[in-house]
Amino acid sequence: MATIQLKQVEKRFGEAYAVKPLDLTISDGEFIVLLGPSGCGKTTTLRMISGLETVTAGQILLDDKNVTWLHPSARDIAFVFQFYALYPHMSVRDNIAFPLKAQGETKELIDERLKLVVDLLRIGHLLNKRPGGLSGGDKQRVALARALVRRPAAFLMDEPLGALDADLRESMRAEIRELQLRLKATTVYVTHDQIEAMAMGDRIVVMSAAVVQQADTPTQVYYNPANLFVAKFIGSPGMNLVQGNYAEGIVRLPGDNQYPLPPGWQNSITRGENVILGFRPESAHVSPEGMLQGQVYATHMHGSYTMLHLNMEGDNVVHVRADRSQRYPIGANIRFDVDAQMARFFNPQNETALRQHQEQSRMTNDGLAVSNSQSSVSHSQSYE
Amino acid sequence: MASFAETGPRRPVVESIRVDKVSPGARTTGAVRAMVVVIVALIMLIPIFVMLATAFKSRPDVSASPPKVFFQPTLEGFLYLFTDRAIIAPGRMAEFQAKADAGAMGFLERLAFDTGQEITGPSAYVGRLTNSLIVAGVSTALSVLLGTLAGYAFSRFNMPGKDDLLFFILSTRMLPAVVVTIPLFLMYRQMGLYDTHLGLILLYTVFNLSFAVWLMKGFFDEIPREYEEAALVDGYSRIQTFLKIVLPQSVSGIAATTVFCLIFAWNEYAFALMMTSERARTAPPSIPSMLGRGGIEWSAIAAGSLLFLIPVVIITFALRKYLLRGVTFGAIRQ
């Protein structure tokens, strides 16, 4: 397995940027998820790594070897497509053996390797079938087998589970991740499904509008989003974002709500400045003495909890996770608290996250390490 | 909730392998439809039937009025088609009779003798049918080969002026063939292509190529690029990918293009009449030329047409499996 380095890689179609200059280092055995809405450049990035798309500028290094202008066949990478791309005129066996035949391997070696991956993915009973007759999950397993059989330097997967049913997707998610960990395979995985990204990735690279918004571990991306886009995009629903104004230790929010600025933020926000308060639905707690209040707008039963949609005046609707056993009539005023340590603040002008000016890292009450020295993300951030 | 078994289907089942499930109304409609199809097919087949019958009629039966439906079949028509004959001079009649009695006569010879003729040599038709085979075969192979390569390039690669090029290729078909016949004739005579196989092959290839390119491009457009991309990352070069992945999947497209090109080249009449005289003349212009020799030999014309029909029917039948099959069949979820 190998490391992959992208250095100022960019892709333009005419004047339009598909990917703006991007730096990314993927270490050996790492599972990187490229996440973003459609058209954000994640698939183009993946295709540039594979060589199926040429780069407009920049360099791609595979194990420190410059492969920027190498033909896809010369890069030693495997690609798993969303719609499997199994060759319809070949049996499953021939499909899996196809990459090995390209290398002119002996029949013995092909049979041996074939047996290994077939056992690994438990698809022995499918070998003589044509891909057309297989179920979605089996097609995806065969496609994975075809990628694995060659033992490539890296795996590139383009929404490989996008075409599967919800429950199958969940089990295949676990299957792929387990396989990746066992093989210690460097993997770049593209998806628009943030749950998939959170569940599978060692690191998530969030992209939007051809630009990397944040590249970090799922925990960091979830609890410390670099900007408003990431805050809204990650999580279902996304982070609650309420615009307010800061003065004398208090953030004034719509509906006469006042939220005392948690410790550690005083130096980040100047008096009279507009700020956006962000908090996750699970960081808010309904309580009669709560500092904030809102009117119940809708309640959604989620089984283990109830999601309250509270209107804090204007169009500021926030989601708060509440006890499922309680009843919350529509229109009632509910008071709630936001966990001081889980509150985040954003600059409404440039939409980036504000950071606490405190030099030590500390544990939040959820037991998560929050690094305070993380820099905000520019258009070409480097991760060494 | 009422189960499906209790309520039954809401609308009558129109098609099913179970006869008892199909509503009587739908069954009658189906039968009427089938009958209409059969009747229309029979009407369409009348000319073919007349041709078939005429090919096996004797000379008096051919011109009988009203036309005979039941007759004694004979191979006279084929004799007239394949041979040149002469009336046996009265003085040599005995000599032929003796040969016939001795059983030393071949089948065709005997047939000719029965109508009072002797075979003087093979007719020109055999050579012309061969010409047709050569010209149609080679030009079809060329059109399909070049059309496949060009169609693939147009389907997959970006090139400057691609749309204009495609339109130009299509525009070659907008001109009626008659318009270019005279200039082509003069050009061909100058270049020594008049009455050569090469001349006709070039002409038919050029004519079919525009069609082949467009048709093949359409078929390639239908094949998802992902197959090729998968093969490229699997370690194959572009040309290997084309041969191993794209070609096997475009068989039905190639088959369809082959049949269309072949039918055009095989049936082409106007150019063949103008651009050839003896050496390279194909079958279509030579069949009607049999009209003038010793009265109208309808049975020979019918026999010639029948033989002319057979190769196309065989090819179409042989390729029908590919013509009917879809381009892709389910390895990519559409």
What digits encode the pLDDT tens for the residues A264-312?
777 777 777 888 888 898 888 888 888 888 888 888 888 888 888 888 8
Closest CA to A118 of A100, A136, A141, A102: A141
Write out pLDDT tens, residues A34-57: 999 988 889 999 999 999 988 999
Distance from CA of B289 to the nearest CA of A (A): 49
* A6-10, A359-363, B44-48: the lowest-pLDDT one: A359-363
Closest chain A residue to B330, measured at CA = A132
Shortest alpha-carbon distance between residue B225 and chain A (Å): 9
Q: Is A146 on the interface with B (CB under 8 A)?
A: yes
Chain A residues closer than 8 Å to B229 by CB: 52, 72, 79, 81, 85
Please report residues of B whose CB lies closer than 8 A to that of A87: 227, 230-231, 245, 331
CB contact under 8 A, B330 and A132: yes
Q: What's residue B132's pLDDT? A: 93
Interface test with B, best of A53, A79, A105, A135 (most B CBs within 10 A): A79
The answer to whether the CB atoms of B331 and A84 lie below 8 A apart is yes
Radius of gyration of chain B from its Cα atoms, rounded to whole angstroms = 28
Q: Homologous superfamily of A239-357 in CATH?
A: Nucleic acid-binding proteins (2.40.50.140)
**So what's the pLDDT on residue A329?**
84
Q: CATH: 3.50.50.60, 3.40.50.1820, 3.40.50.300, 1.10.3720.10. Which one for B127-324?
A: 1.10.3720.10
The amino acid at residue A362 is R
Hey, what are B106's tokens? 């071949």
Which segments of chain B have a pLDDT < 70? 1-22, 291-294, 324-334
Cβ contacts (< 8 Å) between A156 and chain B: which residues? 233
CB contact under 8 A, B231 and A139: no
Distance of CA B318 to the CA centre of its chain: 12
Parse chain A into domains and list their residue ranges: 4-223, 239-357
From the list A78, A83, A89, the residue facing B233 with the nearest CB is A78
Contact B235 A85 (CB under 8 A): no
pLDDT at A35: 92
Give the pair of three-digit tokens for residue B36. 């209409």
Residue intervals in chain B for CATH 1.10.3720.10: 127-324
Ranges A63-67, A91-95, B238-242, B330-334: which has the least confidence: B330-334
* CATH of the domain spanning A4-223, picked from 3.40.50.300, 3.30.465.10, 3.50.50.60, 3.60.150.10: 3.40.50.300
| Residue carrying structure tokens 């991309």 | B229
> Cα–Cα distances in Å, from B89 out to B95, B96, B101, B116, B294?
11, 10, 18, 9, 17
Yes or no: say if A126 and B331 are a contact pair by the CB < 8 Å rule: no
Comparing CB atoms, the residue among B235, B331, B333 nearest residue A103 is B235
Asked if the C-beta of A86 comes within 8 angstroms of chain B's C-beta atoms, the answer is yes
Percent of chain A at pLDDT > 90 equals 19
Distances from the Cα of B329 to the Cαs of A372, B60, B256, in angstroms?
Answer: 55, 56, 17
Which residues 217-236 of B have a C-beta within 8 angstroms of A?
224, 226-227, 229-236
